[in-house]
Structure 1
């Protein structure tokens, strides 16, 4: 798929303007520039999407109980559960995201609160029936075990990288990393002191087709500053256009997104 003498493209991560994704600075910058946590590139997917699998699992466990979204962003994902739950609470540290979520809600049983998901959570013991994070905090599981009823379900959904065309065709712009394994996330989350039981991890594979060469760059630079994006476009767009046009299918450029889906029970 790749050529033997393939050109190494400009690496945005080495630029001084690069901000580590999902850091507090990155979230602040993302809100100031676009006002929400929403992917800006254009693409289509083979169904089911990984987030649909997560949503179906949450719904299957909810049974009209209380639900907590840890790191809810602007709340769009959590809103879909309001009609199936007794109560939905979303928490996030970005004040603007919380304001957007509360403006969008149409029912009274859902609320968005400014709370750091990695800190002590201000909820009573055994309050929620289900709690989850979608690409959010990683240090909340001990608190999750406290605030979710014994036997209740806790889920974690984390991006595990995009592979295939991006890393093979655009070296430098996208760095090479090993294909993830299902249990990789367990080492990162350090769950042995969380108190959770019945811990299981699935590796979800999602097929996405990027629509244009620009979408290759937009995906890489999601949440980065306008200044850095201008540099990346100047350095990379011509090369990316040539590669994209050579390898894209009628659907677009095929890539594979991987996600870790953790499920566990509170004790």
Structure 2
């Protein structure tokens, strides 16, 4: 049995992922929400499936809103197939990066999606989010206000990573509960049910990824964390991770499975 590794989450410098502090730190450090580890995928990534789903809803007259657009890399996919593409995010650093890198035809705004939105009624044919705020539930009425009747709402959310990966690195990664995927499915089905949208659909996606190097195991765990914590993790874990990686990796790298859920519905 593998000896437990150091648990970064017990270190005082650990920042809980997907919190305001975590997003703010990542924005200030890089100006991007971009995975820094090296890997490749067997088939289409979940975000590529999501992108194709969004594109199928668009035409040259469509207006589309990306909620929580980050540095705008994903948003640019729709620049040539929609009339208007707008990305919003609450982090100034992300929006500054998006404006520097994206085509002038796209609009990027610093906006808190939990506050009144700076758009007129029935502005958008498609509103989507990739891991960001879902605008269609009680307490967030702005989504219903700014989407057109018959407009499409879409969301892609990450539901965890495993596929046997976590059991290889006890301590460094915690096991997911046996009911984890069912719980995630139930959670997002409830979210769709409460949205009041029509023609709701939920699709679970399993994405096979191969981490290229032992250090990518650590980079994945410490994404968005402070350099002080990363230094401790590398000192305490790298040698053991290298040994585990060497014993379990295949020619493509170390296999992991990422779970996602894709939500869709139509506005009344």
1:174 partnered with 2:173: yes
How many residues were matched structurally? 261
In angstroms, what is the RMSD of aligned CA positions?
A: 1.6
Q: Is the 8 A contact 1:138 1:189 kept in 2?
A: no
Please, what TM-score do these two structures have when normalized by structure 1?
A: 0.93
Matches of 1:170 and 1:75 in 2, distance apart?
Answer: 33
1:24 aligns with 2:20: yes
Q: Secondary structure at the match of 2:240?
A: helix
Query: Aligned partners of 1:218, 1:140: CA distance in 2, in Å?
Result: 34
Match of 1:183 in 2: 185
Given candidates 62, 66, 80, the residue that maps to 2:63 is 66
Task: Report what 1:231 is aligned to.
Answer: 232
Per the alignment, do residues 220 and 92 of structure 1 end up closer, same or farther by CA in structure 2, a change over 3 Å counting?
Answer: same
Deviates more, 1:179-188 or 1:50-59: 179-188
How far 1:119 moved relative to its partner? 2.3
C-alpha contact (below 8 Å) 2:73/2:102 kept by paired residues: no
- CA-to-partner distance for each residue in 1:158-203, whole Å, 9 max, x for gaps? 11001123211011111111341362342674751x3322222111
Instruction: Give the corresponding residue for 1:36.
Output: 32
Matched, 1:84 2:85: no
Q: Which SS does the other structure have where 2:9 is aligned? A: helix
CA distance in 2, matches of 1:16, 1:219: 19
Alignment of 1:1-267 (within 5 A): 5-64=1-60, 65-108=62-105, 110-138=106-134, 141=137, 142-178=141-177, 179-181=180-182, 183-186=185-188, 189=191, 192=194, 194-267=195-268
Distance 1:102 1:202, change over 3 A: same
TM-score of the aligned structures, taking structure 2 as reference length: 0.92
- Structure 1's unaligned 5+ residue stretches are none
Deviation at 1:139, TM superposition (A): 5.2
Runs of 4+ in 1 over 3 A off after TM superposition: 138-142, 187-191
